[in-house]
Amino acid sequence: MDKDDYRAQPASAGTASGGPRPDHAQRLVRTWSGLGRQLVPLIGENGFGALFGRSLRLVVPVYGWLSLDPSRKTSATLLAGLEADLAAVDADTATAANEELTSTFTRQLGALIGAGLTARLLAESTAGDEQQQNQQEHK
């Protein structure tokens, strides 16, 4: 198995329809993709999936339109499902649900690897997203 097998795939890699998604969903999932690229090499694809799935199960009672699909096991399919769910609602609702999911995921991750490392990984994934966005804007 190659080391690249553990990297999170882009969120659009697993979309069933392959069609365009509203900008708000793409923007929100972009941060998750960066976080996946940071975490999958550390905790594995299954670890990321378990942590994400647990976080999702904790927020579904509040945001019942988020889908829980046990067949989604890879980061790519998990994030594709999240993107589809976020795209199906308005931007404000999607942002609120995403913030709650991110907060829950961060707490779960902090309990697993510690608050300091969690903060560093989140900062690195956010910085990577900003660099990528700046590069695209300059093209």
The string of pLDDT tens digits covering residues 76-108 is: 999 999 999 999 999 999 999 999 999 999 999
Predicted TM-score (pTM) of this structure: 0.73
Q: How far apart are CA 120 and CA 102, in angstroms?
A: 15
Amino acid letter, 36: G
- Of 128 and 23, which is predicted with more confidence? 23
- Residue 40's contacts (CB-CB under 8 Å, 6 or more residues apart) are 6, 7, 8, 47, 48, 75
Q: How far apart are CA 83 and CA 9, in angstroms?
A: 13
- Residue 125's contacts (CB-CB under 8 Å, 6 or more residues apart) are 31, 34, 35, 37, 38
pLDDT average, residue stretch 16-27: 66
